Amino acid sequence: MLWLLRYPAWYINFSIPIWDKFSGSKYSHFFSNAYQNLELPEYMIEISIIERVRMNKKIISIQDTNRKEHFLYFKNIGYPYVGLTVNLDITHFLQNLKATGNPFYLSFLYRVVNAANAIPEFRRRIENDGIVEYDYCKASNVILKNDNSFAYCTLDCSKPFSVFLTEGRESIERAKDKGNIQENDDVESLFFISCIPWVSYTSITQAVPFPPDSNPRFTWGKYMQQNNQTLIPVSVLAHHALIDGFHISQFFIKLESLLAA
């Protein structure tokens, strides 16, 4: 039997015995109240605590930016998105993968997400007609499930690469088996990421909500050989009230440098 109680800053799971280990702890008052309110027999309760992780954010004053006019104009457009698809050279990147044995998808994803986080405008979102900027944005990935449908899988690319690889593999396997299309994190803080490994494309049209959200979207396709280079199409879709072609270009420049490292 499992109970899930949402409490400010915590998720509390109530399942099987061990109430005693929290007796006298700093949580005892809260758990005692929870015990009484839920009216569960004492032998039915075990408490495990998982601290909720919310990405820190700050308010950006529109008055202090050089894009006030652009923000006020584009945020009210019916389709306020700007996008760009670029073929990136990944020849050196693939050579490194061959030498290290690291997987393509997670290695490429790690660089895409960290390149985007390096550009402050990609971490900004429209909130209550204003602008907020997150300290760091995780990746919400579209993962192909075992039945060829898809699920969302959130990954944290701020961790050391070796840790990210281990956690990423585990999270993807869980998503393939039992994943769904419900986001588990602070949705506004996420980058939305898709991969279409079966085709190499020149443009892509993405589904977007109405009213519009302001989460950047990143997509890449099948890589191809051209003039002794290996190229991969990478697409960006972003809210034009926050991001211009300049910022998208800065993202691609940063990603190129990470792929060449």
Dist CA 152 CA 26 (whole Å): 36
Which single residue is written with the structure tokens 């990405």? 55
Q: Find the CATH number of the domain harbouring 197.
A: 3.30.559.10
Whether 93 and 231 have beta carbons less than 8 Å apart is answered as no
Domains contained in the chain, number: 2
Give the per-residue SS3 of 217-238: EEEEECCEEECCEEEEEEEEEE
pTM summary value: 0.78
Dist CA 159 CA 258 (whole Å): 16
The pLDDT value given to residue 54: 56
Whether 102 and 111 have beta carbons less than 8 Å apart is answered as no
- By CB neighbour count within 10 A (0-12 exposed, 13-18 middle, 19+ buried), where does 227 fall? exposed
Examine the domain organization and report whether 18 and 97 are in the same domain.
no
Which stretches in the chain have pLDDT values below 50? 1-53
Examine the domain organization and report whether 202 and 78 are in the same domain.
yes
Examine the domain organization and report whether 105 and 35 are in the same domain.
no
Examine the domain organization and report whether 46 and 65 are in the same domain.
no
Examine the domain organization and report whether 197 and 226 are in the same domain.
yes
Examine the domain organization and report whether 87 and 208 are in the same domain.
yes
Which single residue is written with the structure tokens 């907020």? 132
Q: Which domain holds residue 32?
A: 3-51
Strands (E), 183-228: 191-196, 217-221, 224-226
Dist CA 132 CA 66 (whole Å): 15
Sheet holding 10-14, edge to edge: 3-7, 10-14, 47-51
Dist CA 31 CA 38 (whole Å): 10
The pLDDT value given to residue 64: 84
Dist CA 250 CA 118 (whole Å): 9
Dist CA 181 CA 171 (whole Å): 14
The number of residues making up the chain comes to 261
Examine the domain organization and report whether 42 and 121 are in the same domain.
no
Whether 215 and 121 have beta carbons less than 8 Å apart is answered as no
Examine the domain organization and report whether 20 and 75 are in the same domain.
no
Examine the domain organization and report whether 150 and 209 are in the same domain.
yes
Examine the domain organization and report whether 22 and 139 are in the same domain.
no
Domain's final residue, options 14, 32, 51:
51
How far are the Cα atoms of 42, 49, 195, 218 from residue 32, in angstroms, in the given order? 10, 15, 48, 47
Contacts of 115 (CB under 8 A, 6+ apart): 251, 254, 255, 258
Examine the domain organization and report whether 77 and 40 are in the same domain.
no
Examine the domain organization and report whether 44 and 139 are in the same domain.
no
Domain's final residue, options 36, 51, 66:
51
Dist CA 6 CA 79 (whole Å): 36
